């Protein structure tokens, strides 16, 4: 990737790159300094915080005049990052030349990048709020297979970013034509039919999510609980402060109103927890609004385009043929709200991460999900799931729960206290959960597509075309062999999916079909 | 038009029944007979190298030796009787014996094996948990041969095959003779090249 290219034409300073003038070294807009400053600040906090813990500890223990030194250290750090941002901008040069982007960047470590269009996985355009008044955007170029090889061109004009995007996509199309020879016949599995519908041709979004829905999606994320768990170690300290300082003060106010000290205490405690929970939930909702504000999904001929974001309006473009699977998720909160979320997943994308080119629709009515699945995989019917073998309940309960419980709690109840026998009551809810997960598991396939369903209280469905499968694995224990069942694992470009206790004959037929489809397909899978 | 018509059969015997001739010229939609596809469950797997089980045995032996030395040394350093170590040593030896019985048994022909077909590679392993993995050549991203010092001494190689979407090596086949590993690697590389050409 790194080359020894040298600037071979005189440098010029331009406010933003002109799409028509290629072959000359370009500079970014000076506004990009703001972007670099924010980026390096976040990077420093993320990466530097953990490394700086010993320094913090030393500071806390050794240094006497903390406030004084802090007032010097903090502005110095901010200044250092600002200077770094300016120097980074100053050294940043790029040019577009014959289907490749050349970039020279770096302050202490100089980098010379040569990104060929054919190696580019995706080009996304985002508009941070501070770029908006200047009509500038950030052009994010992702090269295939690596997260670290992402290149940002912040502070370029929108037409320029769009021209890079369209050139990359044009190169990509040519590549596909070349790799698949003359057979680029669209199949029903891929959905790249030449006939485009009116909806695909129109510039109107296929889906426009109201901001109320976007806010609701914040409720469905478990972020609130995660944050709550992360702060658990501080609760003791927090509750001490609360008990010493605020509790007596609040008690003085509440007790005369309710007339009972105990009741007043309970009310204060419950109210405090509710307030904390509401604050965290609000943070989650605000987070969702920042991410999904004015969410729009466009269905263009062979691409899906998603536009959303409050502080940074990000445009993510995903080539439909690169979609490896579609995941439909519904957790308990989403179930209560009668909504699902849907994610178009491409190679190497983790289920919860939307920053690397996958597209997520955060809120959808369940009955609408099949419409959005067919956008990626045309002619994919609604899956009709087959249950897994019933022996799953018995074996998981017996071998992974009852036996470990007996091994752990029987000796404890004999040697330590008979009260440990009560632990066996825990097996009752566990049995219920195993039964629930048995009900959620499901498998379906036809000649072109397959779907796997799993879950506990909510559910997760992953749908994929058979020809996109990377690898299959079938695993059986002794007991499973006797019952003619086994665990089927399918590796897709977007991750690994497993369905347990599937009947062997179903798995065998599926693997034979999947291998045939994968091995006989001339369609590019990525 | 479906994929089946545009794609040549490529040696995968009877894939489709051609019974339904269409009325419209140039269009057909033949039915796929899944039961007539090549059966992966009938694949015959070739055994691994005869000395394949010795490499994990040597590795375990070295680990166990260090562990036993530590168990013997502990009472000596602490000026205690060696009798304290005996039950632990017996336990370690018992576990080592059991694990090595499992190691040698799971390398027996019929238990662990590799199979190459025209378009994919299969690998089966496991004594109690039996697993069979199939990886099509046209999904191979990268392939490498790995030899640790013990493997080099025994003339063995491990084949590591990478495809997309996995978290590391997607298929690792240890216990292959050096020349066989090289031949398989070449075969897969050529096959995957011709698949994507």
Q: Taking 70 as the threshold, does the pLDDT of residue A7 lie above it? A: no
Q: Taking 80 as the threshold, does the pLDDT of residue B46 lie above it? A: yes
Query: Would you state the pLDDT for residue A54?
Result: 72
B136: which chain A residues are within 8 Å (Cβ-Cβ)? 469-471, 515, 518-519
Q: Taking 50 as the threshold, does the pLDDT of residue A19 lie above it? A: no
Tokens at residue A478, please? 């002794």
B37: which chain A residues are within 8 Å (Cβ-Cβ)? 512-513, 515-516
- Tell me the pLDDT band of A184, cut-offs 50, 70 and 90: very low
Query: Strand B31-32 to strand B16-17: parallel, antiparallel, or no bridges (unpaired)?
Result: antiparallel
d(CA B4, CA A189): 11
Q: How far is A291 from chain B (nearest CA, A)?
A: 26
Identity of the residue in B37, B171, B196 whose CB atom sits nearest the CB atom of A513? B37
Identity of the residue in B40, B128, B136 whose CB atom sits nearest the CB atom of A518? B136
Q: How far is B50 from chain A (nearest CA, A)?
A: 25
Q: Is any Cβ of chain B less than 8 angstroms from the Cβ of A496?
A: yes
Average pLDDT, chain A: 82
B133: which chain A residues are within 8 Å (Cβ-Cβ)? 471-473
Interface of B with A (CB under 8 A): 1-4, 6-7, 9-10, 12, 15, 32, 34-35, 37-41, 119-120, 126, 128-139, 163-167, 170-171, 195-196
Q: What is the dihedral of CA A34, A40, A45, A50, to 10 degrees?
A: 180
- The 10s digit of each residue's pLDDT in B114-124 is 999 999 999 99
φ, ψ dihedrals at A364, nearest 5°:
-145, 150
DSSP letter at A468?
G
A467: which chain B residues are within 8 Å (Cβ-Cβ)? 3
Identity of the residue in A470, A517, A518 whose CB atom sits nearest the CB atom of B165? A470
d(CA A349, CA A16): 32
B28: which chain A residues are within 8 Å (Cβ-Cβ)? none
Residue B9 parent element (H or E): none
Tell me the percentage of chain A whose pLDDT exceeds 90.
42
Query: Would you state the pLDDT for residue A398?
Result: 94
User: What is the number of CB-based contacts under 8 A between chain A and chain B?
Assistant: 125
Q: Taking 80 as the threshold, does the pLDDT of residue A48 lie above it? A: no
Are the beta carbons of A526 and B164 separated by less than 8 Å? yes
Quick one: how far is CA A144 from the chain centroid?
17
- More confident position, A53 or A133: A133
Q: Taking 70 as the threshold, does the pLDDT of residue A148 lie above it? A: no
Q: Is any Cβ of chain B less than 8 angstroms from the Cβ of A252?
A: no
Q: Taking 80 as the threshold, does the pLDDT of residue A2 lie above it? A: no
Q: How far is A186 from chain B (nearest CA, A)?
A: 8
Q: What is the mean pLDDT of residues A93-98?
A: 86
Q: Taking 70 as the threshold, does the pLDDT of residue A161 lie above it? A: yes
Q: What is the mean pLDDT of residues A9-17?
A: 41
Q: How far is A4 from chain B (nearest CA, A)?
A: 27
Query: Would you state the pLDDT for residue A369?
Result: 93
- The 10s digit of each residue's pLDDT in A202-237 is 578 999 999 999 998 888 876 566 666 666 666 666
- Tell me the pLDDT band of A169, cut-offs 50, 70 and 90: confident
Identity of the residue in A509, A519, A522 whose CB atom sits nearest the CB atom of B34? A509
Query: Would you state the pLDDT for residue B60?
Result: 95
- The 10s digit of each residue's pLDDT in A419-428 is 889 999 999 9
Q: Give the residue ranges of DSSP H helices in A293-426.
A: 332-336, 369-376, 391-397, 403-415
- Is B162 within 8 Å of B140 (Cβ atoms)? yes
Query: Would you state the pLDDT for residue A282?
Result: 87
Tokens at residue B122, please? 């299969």
- Tell me the pLDDT band of B90, cut-offs 50, 70 and 90: very high
Query: Would you state the pLDDT for residue A476?
Result: 96
Using CA coordinates, name the residue in chain A closest to B8. Answer: A520
Q: How far is A463 from chain B (nearest CA, A)?
A: 15
d(CA A45, CA A36): 14
Are the beta carbons of A476 and B130 separated by less than 8 Å? yes
Where is average pLDDT lowest: A94-98, A143-147, B155-159? A143-147
Q: What is the mean pLDDT of residues A72-83?
A: 89
Interface predicted TM-score of the whole assembly (ipTM), two decimals? 0.83
Q: What is the mean pLDDT of residues A320-349?
A: 89
Close Cβ partners of B73 (under 8 Å, ≥ 6 residues apart): none
Q: How far is B9 from chain A (nearest CA, A)?
A: 7
Q: What is the DSSP string of A274-318?
A: HHHHHHHHHHHHHHHHHHHTT-EEEEETTEEEEEE-SSEEEEEEE
Q: What is the mean pLDDT of residues A307-321?
A: 89
Q: Taking 50 as the threshold, does the pLDDT of residue A99 lie above it? A: yes
- Is B191 within 8 Å of B118 (Cβ atoms)? yes
Q: Taking 70 as the threshold, does the pLDDT of residue A357 lie above it? A: no
Are the beta carbons of A470 and B6 separated by less than 8 Å? no
Q: How far is B133 from chain A (nearest CA, A)?
A: 4
- The 10s digit of each residue's pLDDT in B150-171 is 999 999 999 999 888 777 788 9
Radius of gyration over every alpha carbon of chain A, rounded to an integer in angstroms = 28
A472: which chain B residues are within 8 Å (Cβ-Cβ)? 133-134
DSSP letter at A421?
G
Are the beta carbons of A475 and B131 separated by less than 8 Å? yes
Quick one: how far is CA A17 from the chain centroid?
31
d(CA A46, CA B141): 33
Average pLDDT, chain B: 83
Are the beta carbons of B165 and A188 separated by less than 8 Å? no
Query: Would you state the pLDDT for residue B191?
Result: 87
Q: Is any Cβ of chain B less than 8 angstroms from the Cβ of A348?
A: yes
d(CA A512, CA B34): 7
């Amino acid at each position: 990737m790194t080359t020894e290219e040298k600037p071979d034409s005189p440098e010029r300073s331009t406010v933003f790159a002109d799409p028509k003038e290629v072959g000359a070294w370009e500079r970014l807009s000076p506004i990009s300094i703001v972007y670099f400053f924010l980026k390096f600040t976040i990077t420093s906090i993320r990466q530097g915080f953990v490394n700086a813990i010993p320094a913090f500890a030393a500071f806390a223990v050794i240094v006497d005049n903390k406030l004084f030194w802090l007032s010097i250290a903090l502005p110095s750090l901010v200044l250092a990052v600002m200077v770094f941002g300016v120097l980074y901008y100053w050294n940043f040069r790029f040019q577009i030349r014959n289907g490749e982007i050349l970039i020279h960047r770096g302050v202490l470590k100089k980098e010379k990048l040569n990104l060929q269009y054919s190696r580019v996985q995706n080009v996304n355009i985002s508009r941070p709020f501070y770029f908006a008044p200047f009509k500038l955007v950030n052009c994010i170029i992702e090269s295939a297979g690596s997260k670290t090889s992402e290149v940002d061109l912040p502070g370029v004009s929108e037409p320029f970013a769009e021209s890079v995007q369209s050139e990359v996509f044009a190169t990509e199309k040519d590549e596909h034509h070349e790799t698949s020879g003359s057979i680029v016949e669209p199949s029903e599995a891929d959905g790249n039919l030449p006939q485009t519908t009116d909806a695909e041709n129109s510039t109107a979004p296929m889906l426009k999510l109201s901001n109320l829905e976007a806010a609701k999606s914040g409720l469905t994320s478990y972020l609130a609980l995660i944050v709550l768990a992360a702060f658990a170690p501080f609760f003791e300290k927090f509750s001490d402060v609360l008990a010493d300082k605020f509790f007596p003060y609040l008690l003085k106010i509440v007790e005369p109103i309710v007339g009972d000290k105990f009741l007043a205490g309970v009310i204060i405690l419950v109210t405090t927890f509710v307030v904390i929970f509401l604050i965290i939930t609000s943070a989650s909702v605000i987070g969702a609004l920042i991410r999904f504000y004015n969410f729009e999904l466009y269905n263009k001929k062979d691409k899906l385009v998603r536009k959303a974001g409050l502080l940074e309006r990000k445009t993510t473009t995903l080539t439909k043929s690169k979609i490896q699977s579609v995941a439909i998720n519904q957790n308990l909160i989403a179930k209560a709200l009668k909504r699902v979320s849907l994610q178009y997943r491409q190679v190497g994308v983790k289920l919860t991460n939307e920053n690397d080119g996958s597209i997520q629709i955060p809120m959808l009515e369940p009955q609408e999900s099949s419409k959005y699945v067919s956008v990626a995989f045309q002619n994919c019917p609604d899956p009709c799931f087959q249950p897994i073998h019933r022996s799953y309940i018995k074996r998981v309960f017996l071998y992974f729960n009852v036996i470990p419980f007996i091994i752990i709690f029987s000796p404890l109840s004999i040697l330590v206290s008979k009260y440990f026998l009560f632990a066996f009551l825990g097996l009752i809810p566990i049995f219920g959960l195993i039964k629930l997960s048995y009900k959620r598991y499901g498998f379906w396939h036809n000649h072109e597509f397959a779907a796997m369903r799993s879950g506990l209280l909510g559910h997760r469905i992953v749908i994929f075309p058979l020809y996109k499968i990377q690898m299959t694995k079938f695993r059986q224990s002794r007991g499973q062999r006797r019952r003619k069942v086994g665990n089927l694992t399918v590796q897709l470009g977007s991750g690994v999916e497993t369905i347990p206790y599937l009947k062997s004959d179903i798995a065998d037929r599926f693997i034979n079909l999947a291998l045939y489809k994968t091995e006989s397909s001339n369609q590019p899978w990525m | 038009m479906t994929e089946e018509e545009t794609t040549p059969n490529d040696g995968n015997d009877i894939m489709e029944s051609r019974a339904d001739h269409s009325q419209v010229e140039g269009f057909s939609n033949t039915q796929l007979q899944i039961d007539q596809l090549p059966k992966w469950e009938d694949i015959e797997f070739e055994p691994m190298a005869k000395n394949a089980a010795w490499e994990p045995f040597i590795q375990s032996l070295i680990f166990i030796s260090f562990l036993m030395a530590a168990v013997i040394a502990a009472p000596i350093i602490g000026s205690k009787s060696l009798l304290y170590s005996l039950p632990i040593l017996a336990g370690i030896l018992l576990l080592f014996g059991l694990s090595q019985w499992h190691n040698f048994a799971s390398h027996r022909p019929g238990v662990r094996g590799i199979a190459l077909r025209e378009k994919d590679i299969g690998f089966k392993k496991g004594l109690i948990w039996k697993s069979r993995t199939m990886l099509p050549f046209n999904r191979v991203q990268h392939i490498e041969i790995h030899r640790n010092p013990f493997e080099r001494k025994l003339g063995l190689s491990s084949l590591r095959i990478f495809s997309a979407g996995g978290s590391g090596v997607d298929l690792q086949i240890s216990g292959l003779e050096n020349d066989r590993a090289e031949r398989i690697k070449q075969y897969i590389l050529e096959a995957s090249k011709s698949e994507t050409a």
